[in-house]
Structure 1
Amino acid sequence: MDRTRLVDELDAEFGGSERTHRAVSRQARDLADSGRLEEDMDLQLTVEAVISNLDDAPDDHSLVERWNWWIGSLELSFGDYQRFRVRPDLEETPE
Structure 2
Amino acid sequence: MDRTQLESQLIEAFDAEPAAARIVARQASDLADSAQYADDFEGPLTVEIVLDNLDDAPAESDLIERWNWWLGALELSHGGYQRFRVRPDVV
CA shift at 1:90, angstroms? Answer: 4.5
Is 1:88 paired with 2:84?
no
Structure 1: 4+ residue segments shifted above 2 A: none
> What is the alpha-carbon distance in structure 2 between the residues aligned to residue 26 and residue 12 of structure 1?
17
Which sections of structure 1, spanning at least 5 residues, go unmatched? none
1:6 is the counterpart of 2:12: no
RMSD: 1.1
Q: Percent identity?
A: 56
Q: What secondary structure is seen at the aligned counterpart in 1 of 2:48? A: helix
- Confirm or deny: 8 A CA contact 1:68 1:86 kept in the other structure: yes
Question: How many equivalent residue pairs?
Answer: 91
Query: How far apart, in 1, do the equivalents of 2:27 and 2:42 lie?
Result: 19
TM-score normalised by the chain length of structure 2: 0.94
Offset from partner CA, 1:32-84 (integer Å, 9 cap, x none) = 00101111111311111110010010101100000000000000011111000
Gaps of 5+ in 2: none
* One-letter code aligned to 1:40: D
2:36 counterpart residue number: 36
| AA matched with 1:89 | D
TM-score normalised according to structure 1 size: 0.90
